[in-house]
Amino acid sequence: MIVFEDVAKRYAGGYTALAGVSFEIRHGELVVLSGHSGAGKSTLFKLIPVIERPTAGRVLINGQDVSHLPRTAIPYLRRNLGLVLQESRLLFDRNVYDNVMLPLVITGHPAADAAKRVAAALERVGLDGRGKEMPAGLSGGEQQRVAIARAIVNRPSILIADEPTAHLDPAYAADIAALFRSFNQAGVTVLVSTHDASLFAASRPRRLVLAKGQLVEDSRPGGRPAQEEVAA
């Protein structure tokens, strides 16, 4: 479903964010990506929706090489992806409902069905009936829930979250982690980066660990390295 083949990413000035990273993520997996600050986690996630492109290697989504995807085709790729970034990036001049509706407006979704999808997404994240509120009046955890609702309103098959609990207190962080686990249980492929892997430990996720741009650990539930599974 998601394949990285010897992927490298170097920036101007010679900084190498990723070096020779290879792995394959199957449909329906819950994958937790961890590593120190600057390990390359955000860069890796940005390569999947083609926010960034690799310097070398290939990134394949559902068998399609997106490494050289034409710019005009990128919006169609992203319709199958839900993205939650470290900062919620909400539009503070629009209410909660309009923030969640935005992806459907961009894709020209029929109005009646779009309204149902927004209502369902808000209910899913525990914000049912709060569509008229403005983001500035919400707590940090509630703002993150709005961002998650916006990410799932298109009903993506892949959900990517870059440190979604980084700025939340422990109680809110646990709630957000539980949301992602529930999406995975519903069949969505979930990739989430976090400094606190214990938030997802109960689900026994697959773990990818980066260090200085290199993949140093890739293990499936039970502690067996994914590479050994493939070889078995």
102, 91 in Cβ contact below 8 A? Answer: yes
Q: How far apart are CA 64 and CA 58, in angstroms?
A: 10
Q: What is the mean pLDDT of residues 104-122?
A: 94
Confidence of residue 229 (pLDDT cuts 50, 70, 90): very low
Please compute Rg for the chain using Cα positions: 18
Q: Phi and psi (nearest 5°) for 44?
A: -60, -45
On whether residue 135 sits in a domain, the answer given is: yes
168 vs 95, residue with greater confidence:
95
Give the pLDDT mean for 206-211.
95
Domain-located, residue 230: no
Helix residue ranges per DSSP H, 48-166: 74-78, 96-106, 111-124, 140-152
Instruction: Answer yes or no: are the C-beta atoms of 28 and 187 closer than 8 Å.
Output: yes
**Residue 217 is assigned to a structural domain of this protein:** no
Q: Tell me if 106 is assigned to some domain.
A: yes
pLDDT tens digits, 128-176:
999 999 999 999 889 999 999 999 999 999 999 999 888 788 888 899 8
Residue 203's pLDDT is what? 84
> Hey, CA dihedral for 81, 157, 181, 108, is it positive or negative?
positive
In a domain, 60, yes or no: no
Distance (Å, rounded) from C-alpha 106 to C-alpha 67?
A: 24
Asked whether residue 29 is domain-assigned, the answer is: no
Domain count, the chain: 1
- Does residue 133 or residue 200 have the better pLDDT? 133
Q: Is the pLDDT at 117 greater than 50, yes or no? A: yes
* pLDDT band (50, 70, 90) for residue 221: low
Note whether residue 150 is domain-resident. Answer: yes
Domain with 142, as residue range(s), is: 90-154
Instruction: Find out whether 195 and 189 touch, Cβ atoms under 8 Å.
Output: no
Residue 72 has pLDDT above 60, yes or no: yes
**Residues 175-188: what's their mean pLDDT?**
93
Contact, 65 vs 4, CB < 8 A?
no
Counts for the chain of helices (H) and strands (E), in that order: 7, 10
Whether 116 maps to a domain, the answer reads: yes
Mean pLDDT of the chain: 91
pTM of the complete model beyond 0.85: yes
CA distances from 163 to 66, 84, 97, 106, 173 (A): 24, 8, 24, 26, 10
